[in-house]
Amino acid sequence: MIKKLAGETWKPLTFSGWKQLRNRYAVSSFGRIASYKKDVLQDGKILNGSLTTGYRTLNLHRPDSKGTLYIHREMAKLFLKKPSVNHKYVIHRNHNKLDNNIKNLSWATLEKMMAHQQHSPAKIAYKKKQANKTVGLKLTATQVKKIKTILNSKNRNITIQQLAQKYNVSEMTMYRIKSGENWGRI
């Protein structure tokens, strides 16, 4: 038996193959997950689910389907109206992937989702850590300054591939230096 919390709404999950399963599943507007036979509040059992790349998931063995359901996505489908067909992503407003309260979720376009990720505390901490990293780097700050000068030169006579070979790094590293993704502080 599940005790309903004040203001909580439960909705059944329907997905490919759900009718073949022994149990039914539901999510609440507070982000709780439950399995049940007939009535979620009467014979339901709260589930923890699993973690997949930091997101709460439900792994079900369904015929002819992927087994993993991302809870935040399922909740958005049930509780939130999509503003447009371009809103394909679900973001956690407070950047906490485990906080699946419906008030913390919203649909987003690819651009909005990418911009939102840049403000994540984890992303900011990672950038700060990388900016202060001094050991294990293939290039020095002086080398990167030379590379940036060459890359930004209008009269450049060396290809990115040749530049990468010269400094013994990958072409992708050169593209990341050029875009500012790597070594942006220099």
| All structural domains of the chain with their residue ranges | 10-125, 133-179
* The model's pTM: 0.71
pLDDT bucket at 95, cuts 50 / 70 / 90: very high
Q: What is the CATH class of 10-125?
A: alpha beta
Q: What's the mean pLDDT in 40-55?
A: 93
Torsion angle defined by CA atoms of residues 178, 123, 84 and 13, in that order, rounded to the nearest 10 degrees: 140
- Residue 17: predicted pLDDT: 78
What one-character DSSP code corresponds to residue 13?
A: -
Distance CA 179, CA 142 (A): 18
What amino acid is encoded at 146 in this protein? K
Per-residue b or e along 32-70, where b marks 16 or more CB atoms closer than 10 Å to that residue's CB: bbbbbeeebeeebeebebeeeeebbbbebebeeeeeebb
Average pLDDT, the chain: 90
